[in-house]
Structure 1
Amino acid sequence: MHESPIIDLGGLHIDLSVVLMLVVTCTIVFVLALLATRNLSVDKPGKLQNFMEWAVEFVQGLISSSMDLKKGRPFLSLGMTLILFIFVANLLGLPFGVVTEYDNKESATVFGHQITSVAEAFDKAHETKPNEHVEVGVNWWKSPTADASVSMGLAGLIFVMVHFLGMTRNTKGYFKHYFQPFWFFFPINLIEQFSKLLTHGMRLFGNIFAGEVLIAQLIKLGTLNAFGAVASVVGLVVWQGFSIFVGAIQAFVFTILTFVYISQAIDTHEEH
């Protein structure tokens, strides 16, 4: 695996590849939505308009499966944003990678800041193998959801939104459910809420990160010999095809769980 391009800025560790890929993901989703809604037509809808209409109906189906559609309709734009953003983000690391190689830590700079992850890798390598020539690769192009901070950040946003909705739209029922079925279940119910946050984000991160690790190993296999090259090409074709399916499933799972959590927060116990 290659290093991430991390710099220190204002006391914060900033992963430039994550920033770059988030910008790329947002741009792709924005352009896709813009093109799909630019020339709307009732008689002769274009392919992108048909796709977007199908996506809207699909998200409405997700909402209606977890709550009353009248209550859930305001969250339609949230669902569309989530499923498109996560699906695109999951697939960005599949087509290709952008890697830069550094043979010394002095040259590993960007915007006048040293790439600290590369410097640390050189220092560690020189401690273990002081007489060997070392090169460190930096990966600039990857799926942003393959980074735990991005996946957990998305889950954290949903977590805050869900509990805010519960406290404002269903105040009595929201606080009451922490003490059900008995008051001494409060610690368990509290732990359950934080476990939802952890599993919501880590499920997405784990699946996408594992896929990119396997792709990296298949690429490395292709450098061994002729047989490894053939096996690498076949493995990459098969796995990338499967990764598209995995990326779609993970976008679906994250979105449907979001609606389930919203439904649990805004509906009273009696309504369930």
Structure 2
Amino acid sequence: MSFNLSTLLMTIITSIIVIVIAIAGTRRLTTGVPKGMQNVLEWLVDFVYGIIGSTIGLKKGANFIFLALTLIMFIFVGNMLGLPMNFITVHDEPFSIFGIDIVTQQMINESEIIENGHKVVDVAWWKSPTADANVTLAMSVSIIILSQIFSIKYLGFKGYVKHYFEPHFLFFPLHIIEDFSKTLTLGFRLYGNIFAGEVLIGVILLMGMAGIVPLAIWQGFSIFVGFIQAYVFTILSMVYISQKISH
């Protein structure tokens, strides 16, 4: 088993930033006119309430407010981290720290260049964690598993099983395929958009000074894409949960 340490690092950094934003927005709460980060966080909470209301319903969906809020904040912050900079370290050979192999086989296959008989490996230490399919697929698997758990909780085991045989028992394999396809599309949609955006930024950077204007335009568009993808992942997650807990 191998681990992508840059992905682990960026996932931790993303989580820390989300926690700091949450603390900054709630440390000086006021019932009057909100200011600063409280205003931003209240707007975000209202936005998430709208998502819950349009998918699950506020009465039944109250328990999912914090799940949706965590999803949209984590994904948006993660999407933004790869935009302003990209730290790449070049090594002549795969290396290790404390006996841990830093360059996984996947990274070698994707980034190795043969120069003068030596293997040159580019290691990207700063990137969006959501530009790694392992992260986005793990998130989508978690959502699908949660939807199964909540289905049993809200409908009971009998109602949960009955769902898979509606409207006819012949639909059982289709429901299984549907759960599998939801997992793939939910994860790969987010990964594909963010990864492709970072690749294009790398291509534009190769243009040198001629790429300044295209880079500024694309980064502005990438902020929009980053928010849209966070919104899509969150609202689809709530839709999938809603489908599982509805009679």
Please tell me the root mean square deviation across aligned C-alpha atoms, in Å: 1.9
The answer to whether the 8 Å contact 1:147/1:205 transfers is yes
Q: CA deviation at 1:221?
A: 2.6
CA distance in 2, matches of 1:136, 1:30: 34
Is the counterpart of residue 164 in structure 1 residue 143 in structure 2? no
Is 1:111 the counterpart of 2:98 in the alignment?
A: yes
Partner of 2:128: 143
Counterpart of 1:99 in structure 2: which amino acid? I
Q: Which amino acid letter does the alignment assign opposite residue 40 of structure 1?
A: L
- Using the TM superposition, give the Cα deviation of residue 175 of structure 1 relative to its aligned residue in structure 2, in angstroms: 1.8
Q: Distance in 2 between matches of 1:17 and 1:136?
A: 14
- Corresponding residue for residue 196 of structure 2: 210
| Equivalent in the alignment of 2:46 | 57
Cα distance, 1:44 vs structure 2: 4.1
Question: Comparing 112-121 with 65-74, which one deviates more in the overlay?
Answer: 112-121
Change (3 A) 1:85 1:120: closer
Q: Secondary structure at the match of 2:216?
A: helix
CA distance in 1, matches of 2:59, 2:42: 19
Structure 1 position 257 matched with structure 2 position 200: no
Q: 1:95 to 1:125 in 2, by over 3 A?
A: closer
Counterpart in the other structure of 2:91: 102
Question: Of the two, which has the highest radius of gyration?
Answer: 1
TM-score relative to the length of structure 2: 0.92
1:72 is matched with 61
The code of the aligned residue for 2:100 comes to H
Q: Distance in 1 between matches of 2:108 and 2:184?
A: 29
CA distance 1:247–1:140, change in 2 (3 Å): same
User: What SS is found at the alignment partner of 2:86?
Assistant: coil
Letter aligned with residue 254 of structure 1: F
1:84 maps to amino acid: M
**CA shift digits 1:177-233 (9 cap, x unpaired):** 2112221111111111111111111111111111011111111232xxxxxx31x11
Preserved contact between residue 201 and residue 215 of structure 2 (Cα < 8 Å): yes
CA deviation digits over 1:93-130, x for unaligned, max 9? 0010111111344xx33234343448956xx755xx6x
Distance 1:104 1:151 in 2: 29
Whether contact under 8 Å (1:173, 1:267) holds in the other structure is no
Q: Show CA shifts across 1:212-262 (max 9, x none).
A: 11111111232xxxxxx31x1111111110000000000000110111111
1:184 aligns with 2:163: no
- In structure 2, the CA distance between the partners of 1:37 and 1:137, relative to structure 1 (3 Å rule), is same
Q: Which amino acid aligns with 2:53?
A: S
Aligned to 2:13: 24
Residue 93 of structure 2 contacts residue 118 of structure 2 at CA under 8 Å; is this kept in 1? no
CA–CA distance in structure 2, aligned partners of residues 44 and 182 of structure 1: 54
SS in 1 for 2:2: strand
The size of the alignment, in residue pairs, is 243
CA shift digits 1:161-182 (9 cap, x unpaired): 0001112211343322211222
With structure 1 as the length reference, what TM-score do the two structures score?
Answer: 0.84
Report the identity percentage: 49
Look up the match of 2:213: 234
Which residue is equivalent to 1:36? 25
Q: Which amino acid aligns with 2:165?
A: F
Answer yes or no: is 1:84 the counterpart of 2:84.
no
Q: SS of the counterpart of 2:90?
A: strand
Q: What is aligned with 1:93?
A: 82
